[in-house]
Structure 1
Amino acid sequence: MNLHGKTVLLTGATGGIGHAIARRLHREGGTLVLTGRRTDVLEPLAQEIGGRAIAADLADPAAAERLVEEAGDVDVVVANAGLPGTGEITSFSPQEIDRVLDVNLRVPILMTRHYTERLAARGGGHFVFISSLAGKTGSPYSSMYNATKFGLRGFGQGLRHEMAAKNIGVSVVFPGFIRDAGMFVDAGVELPRGVGTSSPEEVADAVVTAIVRNRGEIDVAPLGMRVGTLVAGIAPATAARVSELAGASKIAGEMTAGQVDKR
């Protein structure tokens, strides 16, 4: 799909990764409808790129329906909004579990349900779901986050086959550790020496590539991390031991401490 002149609905636009995606899509000629909780961040970005801002808290069960009605017809949906969901499962209240499930998984599914027939009537379109390498391999103290990101991958894979006959592309993007923005930076986590990172701009480039080339899945991570994720899918027990030796529990604990107030 050529993005020039296309309208793109982007959720999670208030964070650094969302900013990078919005600017990159704008450079490709897209018109952006931006959504997030903070209008003080959304509106300046919308003015910068000539887009439209819609405030929405997607943890509100009714927010997704209101959002799609206000956004109107679009050609592309990029589901980037997400909550960290870190910590032992027993530390979550039922309400916190619902929030993580709603924002990370339920809302993308509801938006897809709403827009599918609209996109088909317009001759086609594209859905992009921002997952994570945590959607391919589990890690300690991230079971809730893993569950939602694994769920996005499964949803995207199945949906891609369903949508092909309607000329609607479906892509899932899997970032690893992102520097300068995102959950790890927000939590103040310092990664061990040698752990590779990627930039928000690389995530944005992957989103554009996914749409333009209709790619099913794209990993955004250094080669070593991508290989490690592949190995984890084949031999999860071995990969878990290696991950533990590399400090996975320490990183996860720091993430939990830094993100507990953002559930």
Structure 2
Amino acid sequence: MELRGANVLLTGASGGIGRALAEAFAARGAEVVLSGRRTEVLEPLAERIGGRVVAADLAERDAPEELLAEAGPVDVLVANAALPASGLLSGYALDEVDRALDVNLRAPIVMAKLAGARMADRGRGHARATVRAVERDVAEIDVAPLGLRLGALVGGAAPALVAAVQRRAGGGRITRDLAAGQRGRR
């Protein structure tokens, strides 16, 4: 897909990956709509890349539809917004579970459904994970570090073995520390 002149809606644009994607899409001539909760972070980025900002908190039930309406015609949707969802389930309050599900699961599905239908109606669109995937028509790009990808591959093939290794290597402590570090971002 030719990105020059394409309208790209990028959620979660205030984070590190979002900023990098915004810059990469803009460098390829795309018109980028930046979305997130922190407009004070998004405005300087939008000014730098010639994009525009649409504030949205995707934990709010109507936010995905409202965001798409404000963004205008979308050719590429990058649903990058996410909340940390690590740690033990017992460490989550019910409202944190709902918020994580709304932002990490419901919002991307709703936006993909609605934007995809509108793209198809216009004979446009093409909504994969990164600039490389869009330009090269790659179905999926896994951006996790190699070690995590290998761990997931081995974990899928031998889950009992991996669980035993994780327990012996202090995986419980690591999981608790990771969850504690991300608890305030839920």
Q: For this structure pair, what is the TM-score category when the shorter chain's length is used for normalisation?
A: over 0.9
- Paired with 2:12 and 2:145, the residues of 1 have a C-alpha distance of 24
Q: Which runs of 5+ in 1 are unaligned?
A: 130-206
Counterpart of 2:50 in structure 1 is 50
- The 1:222–1:90 alpha-carbon spacing in structure 2 relative to 1, beyond 3 Å, is closer
- The 1:214–1:246 alpha-carbon spacing in structure 2 relative to 1, beyond 3 Å, is farther
Q: Which runs of 5+ in 2 are unaligned?
A: none
- The 1:96–1:224 alpha-carbon spacing in structure 2 relative to 1, beyond 3 Å, is closer
- Paired with 1:54 and 1:122, the residues of 2 have a C-alpha distance of 22
2:153 equivalent to 1:219: no
- The 1:226–1:261 alpha-carbon spacing in structure 2 relative to 1, beyond 3 Å, is closer
Counterpart of 2:160 in structure 1 is 237
Q: TM-score w.r.t. structure 1 length?
A: 0.67
- Paired with 2:88 and 2:145, the residues of 1 have a C-alpha distance of 28
- Paired with 1:233 and 1:67, the residues of 2 have a C-alpha distance of 36
Deviation at 1:241, TM superposition (A): 2.3
The size of the alignment, in residue pairs, is 186
The one-letter code sitting in structure 2 at the alignment partner of 1:99 is R
- Paired with 1:63 and 1:119, the residues of 2 have a C-alpha distance of 19
The one-letter code sitting in structure 1 at the alignment partner of 2:83 is L
Deviation at 1:257, TM superposition (A): 1.2
Contact 2:128 2:139 (8 Å CA) reproduced? no
The one-letter code sitting in structure 2 at the alignment partner of 1:218 is I
- Aligned to 2:77, the other structure's residue is in SS state strand
RMSD over aligned CA atoms reads: 1.6
- Aligned to 2:128, the other structure's residue is in SS state strand
- Paired with 1:242 and 1:68, the residues of 2 have a C-alpha distance of 45
- The 1:103–1:235 alpha-carbon spacing in structure 2 relative to 1, beyond 3 Å, is same
Counterpart of 1:164 in structure 2 is none
- The 1:234–1:107 alpha-carbon spacing in structure 2 relative to 1, beyond 3 Å, is same
Q: TM-score w.r.t. structure 2 length?
A: 0.92
- Aligned to 2:33, the other structure's residue is in SS state strand
- Paired with 1:240 and 1:219, the residues of 2 have a C-alpha distance of 22
Deviations 1:197-235 (A, max 9, x none): xxxxxxxxxx11111112122222444433222111111
- Aligned to 1:9, the other structure's residue is in SS state strand
Counterpart of 1:210 in structure 2 is 133
- The 1:247–1:128 alpha-carbon spacing in structure 2 relative to 1, beyond 3 Å, is farther
- Paired with 2:105 and 2:38, the residues of 1 have a C-alpha distance of 21
- Aligned to 1:219, the other structure's residue is in SS state coil
Counterpart of 2:76 in structure 1 is 76
Counterpart of 1:102 in structure 2 is 102
Higher mean displacement: 236-245 or 92-101: 236-245
